[in-house]
Amino acid sequence: MQKFFKLNQAATELLAEKYGTPLLVLSLAEVKKNYQFLAKALPGVKLHYAVKANPERRLVQALAECGSCFDVASDGEMLELTAMGIESNRMVYANPVKTASGLSTALKTGVKKFTFDSEAEIGRISDVIPGGTVLLRIRVDNPLALVDLNTKFGARPDDAIKMLKMARDHGLDVAGLCFHVGSQSTSAKPYVEAIKMCARLFDQARDEGMELRTLDIGGGFPIPTIQESFDVAAMAGEIHSALVEYFPNTEIWAEPGRFICGTAVNLLTRVIGAQIRNHQQWYFLDEGLYGTFSGVIFDHWDFELETFKQGEPITATFAGPSCDSLDVMFREKTTRLLQVGDLILVPACGAYTSASATVFNGFAKAPIIVWEEVAGAFAE
Ligand SMILES: Cc1ncc(COP(=O)(O)O)c(C=O)c1O
């Protein structure tokens, strides 16, 4: 299994003692490592970090310092990045269906690059940002992805030329195409298929007098799960070869989210209740489905629970602290016998976790500390 940021027992205990739980520990070194890994594996590709995966300011700042561009999806994300001093030409507003306030914020902040996947969106963009640069999002079917975004987004390839022409006729700067193969995609195949399809559409567009110049291959790059890790370097190698073959002279963008931030955060949570219910062992934690574990619902993610315990494996149900009976994260989860007060470390907890956490029932979001700012205390 590929090595990634995971605190050891001593650090987990000391941090929990000092800062309390629940606590999120973010490694900016891991964020930068992941960015640089992908930049190297996909040479020449302009990486646009998908802010939605984890919008934490210090994480975004670290990426900005690495030279990253950004995929933003809302007025809030554009305003936040602008307030951080990130230039608007480093942002693509990659939400195919934008809100009115999103469009007016794009105008205000100077964001001029957009994606779209419907005729209706063309007029909406050109009315607010005349001459704006657009990429048409193409639907690519990949039912194997953990989160298949193509049931909701993407124009049919057969409609692409008609829509590109319509965008041009509305005075928009038609730059190219984009796609997203779905999140946590574990194979290069859907990327390569989509790249080939886009190459055909680029040819058809040329026949219609439209010289496209940009292809955005989206996000979807996987992180290790409890069960397996993936050879992302090999995957990216196959994607790179296809890009060299089919798009030697085209500007290529990608929008990785999960791959950049997923392994960069550890959650520290404590057992606050233990009981037998219906002959099953239940543990209640101080973090739940309405908090960092929101990824269980929104991201279909199964999290590793590191208990630092030895002994016979048991199965148990893990519930969160709120008064809602929905607030159960795991059932029949293999673990070890635990007691109230025990600490649990949840590694690879950085993507689609705190980003979708709520403050339901008055439970505050878990605070985030930066590992490199506190790590000195653990030096020998
Ligand atoms: C348009 C777009 N780009 C990029 C991403 C990031 O995808 P991932 O986190 O799988 O890399 C998403 C995720 O939903 C998305 O909707």
Question: 258 with 299: CB under 8 angstroms?
Answer: no
What are the pocket residues of ligand 1 if the criterion is a CB atom closer than 6 Å to any ligand atom?
Answer: 50, 53, 71, 94, 149, 180, 183, 218-221, 255-259
Q: Is 222 exposed, middle or buried (0-12, 13-18, 19+ CB in 10 A)?
A: buried
Measure the CA–CA gap between 312 and 317, rounded to whole angstroms: 16
Pairing of strands 343-346, 328-335: unpaired
178 catalytically annotated = no
Query: For residue 197, how far is its CA from the centre of ligand 1 (angstroms)?
Result: 20
For residue 133, give every residue at least 6 positions away whose Cβ sits within 8 Å of its Cβ, in sequence order, or none: 112, 113, 114, 172, 173, 175
Q: What is the pLDDT of residue 2?
A: 59
Q: What count of residues does the chain have?
A: 380
Domains and CATH numbers, the chain: 29-261 (3.20.20.10), 262-378 (2.40.37.10)
Query: For residue 319, how far is its CA from the centre of ligand 1 (angstroms)?
Result: 28
Query: For residue 256, how far is its CA from the centre of ligand 1 (angstroms)?
Result: 6
Question: 322 with 290: CB under 8 angstroms?
Answer: yes
Query: For residue 50, how far is its CA from the centre of ligand 1 (angstroms)?
Result: 6
Phi and psi at residue 359, to the nearest 5°: -115, 30
**Beta pairing partners, 253:** 46, 216
Q: What is the pLDDT of residue 273?
A: 98
- The residue whose C-alpha atom lies closest to atom 5 belonging to ligand 1 is 219
For residue 296, give every residue at least 6 positions away whose Cβ sits within 8 Å of its Cβ, in sequence order, or none: 289, 302, 303, 329, 330
- Per DSSP, the residues of 319-379 read E-SSS-TT-EEEEEEEE----TT-EEEE-S--SSSGGG---GGGPPPPPEEEHHHHGGGG-
User: H or E element: which one contains 122?
Assistant: helix 119-128
Query: Residue 321's Cα: distance from chain center in Å?
Result: 26
Q: Tokens 């992302």 identify what position?
A: 232
Count of other CB atoms within 10 angstroms of residue 85: 8
Q: Is 118 exposed, middle or buried (0-12, 13-18, 19+ CB in 10 A)?
A: middle
Measure the CA–CA gap between 114 and 98, rounded to whole angstroms: 9
Model pTM score: 0.97
CA angle 344, 349, 350 (to 5 degrees): 145
For residue 168, give every residue at least 6 positions away whose Cβ sits within 8 Å of its Cβ, in sequence order, or none: 174, 210
Phi and psi at residue 204, to the nearest 5°: -65, -40
Residue type, 245: E
Catalytic residue among 66, 198, 261, 323: 323
Q: Ligand 1, residues 142, 152, 255, 300: which to mutate, most atoms within 8 A of Cβ?
A: 255
**Secondary structure (3-state) at 285:** strand
Q: What is the pLDDT of residue 1?
A: 47
Question: 366 with 22: CB under 8 angstroms?
Answer: yes
Q: Tokens 């608007």 identify what position?
A: 88
Report CA-CA distances (Å) from 26 to 21, 33, 121, 368: 14, 13, 37, 7
Q: Ligand 1, residues 59, 149, 181, 263: which to mutate, most atoms within 8 A of Cβ?
A: 149
Q: What is the pLDDT along the chain (380 residues), one digit of tens a residue?
A: 458 999 999 999 999 999 999 999 999 999 999 999 999 999 999 999 999 999 999 999 999 999 999 999 999 999 999 999 999 999 999 999 999 999 999 999 999 999 999 999 999 999 999 999 999 999 998 777 777 777 889 999 999 999 999 999 999 999 999 999 999 999 999 999 999 999 999 999 999 999 999 999 999 999 999 988 999 999 999 999 999 999 999 999 999 999 999 999 999 999 999 999 999 999 999 999 999 999 999 999 999 999 999 999 999 999 999 999 999 999 999 999 999 999 999 999 999 999 999 999 999 999 999 999 998 877 65
- Per DSSP, the residues of 6-58 read ---HHHHHHHHHHH-SSEEEE-HHHHHHHHHHHHHHSTT-EEEEEGGG---HH
Name the token pair of 47: 């990486």
Which value, in Å, is the radius of gyration of the alpha carbons in the chain? 22
Question: 280 with 12: CB under 8 angstroms?
Answer: no
- Per DSSP, the residues of 286-325 read SS-TTTTTHHHHHS------B----S--EEEEEE-SSS-T
